Structures are given as C-alpha cells and as structure tokens.
Amino acid sequence: MRKPELRYKLARNFTLMGANEFLAALRLFYPISILYFSEITGSFTTSMGVFSVATITMAILEVPTGILSDKWGRRNLLIMGCLLEFLATLAYALGGTSFLFNGTIWLYIGGILFGMAGSLFSGNNYALLYETAQSLRQRHRLSHILGRNASMEQLGLALASAAGGGLLWFGTGFDTLVWLTLIPMGLAIVTAIMVMEPPRHSISESNAWNHMKEALHLLITNKQLRLLTLCSGWKTGWGLASHSLMPKFIEMVWPLWAVPFYRFGQNLVGFVSYWLAGKVTDKLTPLKTLVGASFLSDVISVISVSLANLFSPFLLFITQFNWAVGNTANDTLQQHQFSAEQRSTMGSLISLTISIINALAALALGLIADTFGVTTALICTAIITMPVALGYFKLYQTDKKTLQNNAQHAR
C-alpha cells in the first residue's frame, strides 16, 4: 500500500472511532435504565446489582483482554466488543418478556455481556487512537483526539435521551426503547469493521503471564501513575455508581417524561466539554485541571442534591463539564506514562481498579437508597470522593517540584 493511501486510511480511524462511539451511545433506554430495571426486579438493590455484575465481569476480564489486545490487535477486539454490546442489548430487551427465563435473569445476562464488551474496549480503544496518532506523528494532539472522540459518545447519549424522552411523551414503553436500540448497535459493528489496525503497533514477544507481570511492575513502580490510578479509580468507581442511580433522583424533582431530557442536557454539556477539553488542559495543564474539576464536582453535587428542587438538575449539568475535562486530563496523563508494549494491558489494570470499586459502590448505593433514600445515597457519594482532590493536588505539587529541579539542572 502506498504511503499517502496508508496515511489516509489511518487518519480515517479518528472519524470511524468517533462514529463508533456515537452509534454505540444511541441507547434509547439509557436515561431510564434504572427505572426499567427496577420495574422488572422491584428493588433498587437488585437493579443496581445489574450494573454491579457488569463491572464485576469487566473486572475479571480486564487484564486477560488487555493482554489479548496487545497480542492480537486493537481492531479485532473492537469488533468483538461491538458484537457483545449488541447481544447485551438484546438480553436487556428480552428482560421485558417471559421468553425462556424471567426478566431479572435476562437483565443479569445482559449485565454480564456488557461487562465482557467493556473489558474488550477498556485500554484497547485508547491504545488504538494513541497508536494511530503516533503513526501519523500527531502525538502532540493526543488530548484533543481523546477529548473529541469522547465527545461523540456524549453527543450520542444526548440525542438518545432526547429521542427517548420524546417517545415516552407519546406513550412508548420502556421495553420498546430497548428494542429500538438494537438498530444503532448493529451499525456500530459496521464502523468497527471499517477501522484499520495501526501498522506500528508494538507486540511483546513474552508470554501472557510475563506480559501482565511486566505491566503490573511498571504500574506499581511508577509513583505518579500509581497515585493517579488510585485517585481516578476511587473517583470514577463511585461516580459511575451515582450516575446509574441519578435518574431516580431526577424523577423526584421532575415528571417521569422529563427524566430523559435531564440526560439530554447533561450529555449535551458533556459533548461540548469533551470537544473543548484539549484546549482547557493545554491552558491549565492536565494536573491543574484534575485538581479543580474534582473539587468543584463534589461541592456542586452536595449542594444540588441537598436542595432537591426543580433547579437541582441544572446545577448538576455543571458537574458534567468537570467530569469531561477531568477525564480527558486523566487519560492524557495515563497514556504518556504507559509503556509502548504494555499500553493496553496497563490501561486494563487501571480499569480493573475502577471496575472493582464501581461494583462495590453500586451495591452500597443500592442498599443505602433502599434504606435511607436516594438523596442520602447521592450525598454520601460526593462526600466519599472529596479526598481525591487532595491526591490530585499532591500529584501537582510533585510535578511542579520535578519541573523546578529540571529547570535548575538545565542552568
């Protein structure tokens, strides 16, 4: 293949990955998933267990799939992940029927399949984008590439929420929204097939066990990456759990048909925020961005949930901006710290930490919500994650001292 043609096909990866994120995010049932699950199971704890089993499955498979990505290739795992996501959505749809099993069993099967898909995407997709950028000599634009790719997911979720809200307004049932989601999930598989494997993908010659040990050793011995992993794991794990429970809180302050429009506004803010995240991190530096975003998100969350009134959802929109720029800064820092040969495996080890915390947090929040109410559960989440800002601040101070020492040696 000629070099110009190769560069064109590689550059197309950015567009195709963005389209894949967009289509996979067109989950019409996404804004009301906790409501759909609780309608079938009759319990918040059992419903949150669906999310929990997805993250437990993801945690178990994180490292093996990361190694598989490093050994077998990014494109192959992307395709397989999209196929599993399609099957997971089908299982959720069957949860509203009495076909073969009762609804709860189908929901848990869907959770397992979504967890399997997530483990394949974890580490793999960012590695594919990084290696594509590296091959095209665009590594300096990594934060912009990662941010804009993630923004397409937010756009998809926003449009799915708007469409879901409109359909609910016209009396469409929760189960119909799940069945309709199979259409964009099928199209996501098509975009994955069109992606090109980056030609400069580094493949380790060590066996799988040694490959994992090398990645784990690098993760543990790198102090900055170790603290970054602990902070992002704690923050993201609890954050994802509260995100799943949030629609029930919105239903307390807004009518049911308006719940998807909260997700629409939230993800629209996320789309714009991810699109601009590269510029924000360039201006403030990734570590400054993480400190500010983490602290502000927790404070605003406590205030908005404590008020519990008509305006609370609008305040919560601000936290989405902090989440988007914070995630982009975090992912950029991680990719620059990873080794080339263990890039996906190291990413999977970090995702393993997040998955374990998320699985436990989901069950804990479900129990708190059943016992003390949804508002209490969400306030607890914000308070529990507040110390993360101090961890990011410590990272910033360490990085600042390193830069000062380097400047002195340069003189």
pTM of the shown model: 0.66
Instruction: Please say whether the beta carbons of 219 and 346 come within 8 A.
Output: yes
Six token digits for residue 65: 């799939």
What residue ranges of the chain have pLDDT lower than 50?
201-203, 205, 403-404, 406-411
What is the reported pLDDT for 192?
Answer: 93
Which tens digit of pLDDT belongs to each residue from 40-69?
887 777 887 888 888 788 877 876 776 777
Which tens digit of pLDDT belongs to each residue from 223-275?
777 787 888 788 888 888 887 788 888 888 888 777 777 878 877 887 788 77
What is the reported pLDDT for 80?
Answer: 92
What is the reported pLDDT for 6?
Answer: 66
The whole-angstrom separation of Cα 42 and Cα 28 is 21
What is the reported pLDDT for 200?
Answer: 53
Six token digits for residue 225: 């990456």
What is the reported pLDDT for 87?
Answer: 96
What is the reported pLDDT for 101?
Answer: 80
